[in-house]
């Protein structure tokens, strides 16, 4: 008898694997069906359990019966109210609408380009991230935190911004 070729061996392996998978599936189906045959078809309703009388036990432990304590929330914070949401609400209400483009930018987004000192006053030029330049002088509102240019000198520009603490108290930074 001649030897089987490699191709025939490969085909035989595929049919053996398929036959094994079919057998495994058949065994699982039989076990599933048999386990369902032993299940009880009848449903038994037992009803609710009777309530226990705990009054004697509670008095022995010193526990007061329900209804004798009332909660007074005056002077207490609501434990279920978010502190973060309250803080965000107040910051949204307190902010005014920006009047200029410079009031919509954070100070970290601006670069100081030049300072001009002259007899008519001191001026400075700042550049935003887009590369556009803006001239500022003393009293110019700038920044998203309500900053105002306080002083322009030969070497620096002083901007004062306000900030609020957690108690909503406004502090002006030096």
CATH code assigned at 132: 2.30.30.830
Q: What is the pLDDT of residues 75-108, one digit of tens each?
A: 887 778 777 766 666 555 556 677 888 988 888 8
With pLDDT > 70 as the criterion, what percentage of the chain qualifies?
69
Report pLDDT for 124: 94
| Residue 149 · residue 140 · CB < 8 Å | yes
What's the structural domain count of the chain? 2
Residue ranges making up the domain that contains 118: 97-172
In a domain, 67, yes or no: no
Q: Is residue 82 part of a domain?
A: no
How many degrees, rounded to 5, is the angle at CA 82 between CA 77 and CA 85?
Answer: 125
* Residue, of 9 and 158, whose pLDDT is higher: 158
Q: Within a domain: residue 158? A: yes
Mean per-residue pLDDT, 14-18:
79
Residue 14 lies in a domain: yes
Name which residue leads in pLDDT, 127 or 51: 127
| Inside any domain, residue 4 | yes
Percentage of residues in the chain having pLDDT higher than 90: 24
The model's pLDDT over 139-149, given as tens digits with 9 standing for 90+, comes to 999 988 888 99
The dihedral over CA atoms of 70, 71, 72, 76, expressed in degrees to the nearest 10, equals 170
Nearest alpha carbon to residue 121 among 132, 141, 105, 136 = 136
CA distance 138 to 124: 9
């Amino acid at each position: 008898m001649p030897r089987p070729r490699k191709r025939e061996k490969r085909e035989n392996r595929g049919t053996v694997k398929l036959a094994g998978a079919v057998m495994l599936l058949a065994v699982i189906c039989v076990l599933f069906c048999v386990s369902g045959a032993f299940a009880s078809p009848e449903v038994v309703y037992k009803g609710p359990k009777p309530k226990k009388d705990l009054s004697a036990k509670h008095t022995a432990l010193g526990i007061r019966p329900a209804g004798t304590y009332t909660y007074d929330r005056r002077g207490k914070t609501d434990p279920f109210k978010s502190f973060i949401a309250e803080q965000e609400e107040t910051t949204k209400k307190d902010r005014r609408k920006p009047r200029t483009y410079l009031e919509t930018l954070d100070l970290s987004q601006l670069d100081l380009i030049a300072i001009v000192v002259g007899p008519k006053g001191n001026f400075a030029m700042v550049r935003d991230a887009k590369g556009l330049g803006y001239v500022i002088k003393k009293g110019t509102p700038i920044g998203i935190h309500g900053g105002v240019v306080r002083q322009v000198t030969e070497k620096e520009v002083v901007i004062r911004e306000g900030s609020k603490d957690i108690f909503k108290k406004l502090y002006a930074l030096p």
